[in-house]
Amino acid sequence: MDKYDVVVVGAGLAGLSCARWLSERGQRVMLVDRKSSVDQSVHTTGIFVRRTLEDFTLPEHCLGPVVRNVRLYSPRRRMLALSSPHDEFRVGRMGVLYQHLLRAGLAAGVLFAPATSFRDATVTSDGMHLELESQSKRDYVHTKYLIGADGANSRVARALSLSQNREWIVGVEEVYDSRAMDAPPCLHCFLDPELAPGYIAWIAHDGAEMHVGVGGYGNRFDPNESLTRFLKEVPQFVPAQGLPMLERRGGRIPVGGLLPRIVSERGLLVGDAAGAVSPMTAGGLDPCLRQSSLAVDVIVKFLREGDAAALDRYESAPFRKRFRTRSLMRRSLATIQSPWVAEMGFAFLRLAPFTSLARHVFFGRGSFPTSDRELQACPGFRPI
Ligand SMILES: Cc1cc2nc3c(=O)[nH]c(=O)nc-3n(C[C@H](O)[C@H](O)[C@H](O)COP(=O)(O)OP(=O)(O)OC[C@H]3O[C@@H](n4cnc5c(N)ncnc54)[C@H](O)[C@@H]3O)c2cc1C
């Protein structure tokens, strides 16, 4: 049976990052994904925020042009324009980025098993036996440590008896080649509880790609029907007629906040599997990178020194406290079901103090805390 220091399940942004960084730090790593190629069925718009762009070096060819302008719309399509002097957003070319990260991981020594599903795990005296399935054939590997980077509905979480996501919104979007469209780069967000109950509809246009999507609580709307309706409205906001469609994307976004139990001596969860998504904006890419970086630090220390206390730094409690306000804002957003109430709320947003709040949500630098200074600010933090 093949033996690894760490097996990473899931080759999305979190899994690819963990696998690469662990391998670069001398660990023997296997990365498995049930997809046959990492750029298949991408399920994110891929908007990276300023804080990520400033703190992580993402390769230029994996990013679209800069977006600095946001337009918010009410259910009756009243508009509030926000603009920033900074480079606020860039839409990732996610398939290209995943391939780039995979190549970097392979170069660092990661063994990648595509079209391979994680089935189950059995505890042994020195780690775990993992049951994997590829083309209906079972295979078994041994690992000292297991990472669940397997998305919102994590099988690894179940196998490790860690917490599981319980609250989701559903998003679906179409991506168009918009190089021929004569419109400035802009993120258009529609607050409309009939079109997108509990979240937003969006048009994200960066001058090269246009993403048109809707998101909301799955039990309150039919996402495909809603997107069809929304697509008919799009030409009122951008001259999008006749653009070639590139792909359709969709998926679940966990919005219940960081889960309570995400680490044990056998393994840990990262990214969507850990619920590491901003409950307010539903942005998960920045938390994926920050949490992966922290996961790698604690795992390397744990495996090198056999010190289980190293894993305490990954406990979610201190981080969950930081997410409290955003969780409360999510609850408030979720309760708005009437377009009339949303219209009233939007009228407030156009008043100066509330416009600052909207600016803060879109242009603020708040995210998953990881620097030591930020961690020190979390009650309960214990340095390694
Ligand atoms: C429509 C939509 C739009 C979004 N837009 C944005 C955005 O613009 N900006 C932003 O910040 N966030 C956005 N998000 C959220 C963000 O995309 C996610 O938080 C992030 O991509 C999660 O990455 P991950 O690596 O944790 O999980 P995933 O990307 O879900 O990767 C999980 C991987 O695990 C694999 N897998 C699952 N189960 C198994 C198994 N049993 N065995 C083997 N492999 C398995 C899957 O094939 C997959 O490749 C969006 C989400 C959606 C759904």
Extents of the domains making up the chain: 2-328+363-376
State residue 16 phi and psi, 5-degree precision: -65, -40
Residue 96 burial class via C-beta count within 10 angstroms: exposed 0-12, middle 13-18, buried 19 and up: middle
- On whether the CB atoms of residues 90 and 185 are closer than 8 A, the answer is no
- List b or e across 249-264, with b for residues whose CB sees 16 or more CB atoms inside 10 angstroms: bbbbbbbbbbbebbbb
- Give the nearest ligand 1 atom to 254 CA: 19
pLDDT tens for each residue of the chain, 384 residues long: 899 999 999 999 999 999 999 999 999 999 999 999 999 999 999 999 998 998 888 999 999 999 999 999 999 999 999 999 999 999 999 999 999 999 999 999 999 999 999 999 999 999 999 999 999 999 999 999 999 999 999 999 999 999 999 999 999 999 999 999 999 999 999 999 999 999 999 999 999 999 999 999 999 999 999 999 999 999 999 999 999 999 999 999 999 999 999 999 999 999 999 999 988 888 999 999 999 999 999 999 999 998 889 999 999 888 887 777 777 777 787 888 888 999 998 888 888 777 887 888 788 766 666 655 566 655 555 554
| The one-letter amino acid at 210 | M
Residue 353 burial class via C-beta count within 10 angstroms: exposed 0-12, middle 13-18, buried 19 and up: exposed
Does the Cβ of 13 fall within 6 Å of ligand 1? yes
Distance CA 32, CA 280 (A): 31
Distance CA 96, CA 101 (A): 9
Distance CA 53, CA 323 (A): 21
Distance CA 266, CA 147 (A): 9
What's the confidence (pLDDT) of residue 384? 44
Distance CA 67, CA 184 (A): 9
Distance CA 320, CA 315 (A): 9
In this structure, the residue with its CA closest to atom 41 of ligand 1 is: 118
- Give the number of other CB atoms < 10 A from CB of residue 369: 20
- The residue among 151, 170, 174 whose CA lies nearest residue 219 is 170
Ligand 1 centre and the CA of 273: distance in Å?
9
- On whether the CB atoms of residues 16 and 38 are closer than 8 A, the answer is yes
Assigned architecture for domain 2-328+363-376: 3-Layer(bba) Sandwich (3.50)
Does the Cβ of 251 fall within 6 Å of ligand 1? yes
- List b or e across 104-117, with b for residues whose CB sees 16 or more CB atoms inside 10 angstroms: bbeebebbbbbebb
Does the Cβ of 207 fall within 6 Å of ligand 1? no
Task: Locate 88 and state its tokens.
Answer: 């606020």
71 membership: H or E segment, kind and range: strand 69-73
Does the Cβ of 198 fall within 6 Å of ligand 1? no
What SS3 class is residue 220? coil
| The one-letter amino acid at 44 | T
Ligand 1 centre and the CA of 239: distance in Å?
30
Spatial CB neighbours of 337, under 8 Å, sequence gap ≥ 6: 193, 197, 220
Does the Cβ of 151 fall within 6 Å of ligand 1? yes
Ligand 1 centre and the CA of 43: distance in Å?
6
In this structure, the residue with its CA closest to atom 35 of ligand 1 is: 10
Chain position carrying tokens 């480079």: 87
Does the Cβ of 275 fall within 6 Å of ligand 1? no
Distance CA 256, CA 254 (A): 6
Does the Cβ of 272 fall within 6 Å of ligand 1? yes
- Give the nearest ligand 1 atom to 152 CA: 30
Nearest 5°: the CA angle 232, 234, 238 is 150
Does the Cβ of 17 fall within 6 Å of ligand 1? no
Does the Cβ of 32 fall within 6 Å of ligand 1? yes
Chain position carrying tokens 């990276």: 48
Spatial CB neighbours of 307, under 8 Å, sequence gap ≥ 6: 301
- On whether the CB atoms of residues 141 and 2 are closer than 8 A, the answer is yes
Ligand 1 centre and the CA of 253: distance in Å?
8
Task: Locate 300 and state its tokens.
Answer: 């390397």
| The one-letter amino acid at 181 | M
- The residue among 28, 34, 315 whose CA lies nearest residue 144 is 28
Q: DSSP label at 243?
A: P
- Give the nearest ligand 1 atom to 284 CA: 19
- The residue among 27, 38, 35, 9 whose CA lies nearest residue 131 is 9
359 membership: H or E segment, kind and range: helix 352-363
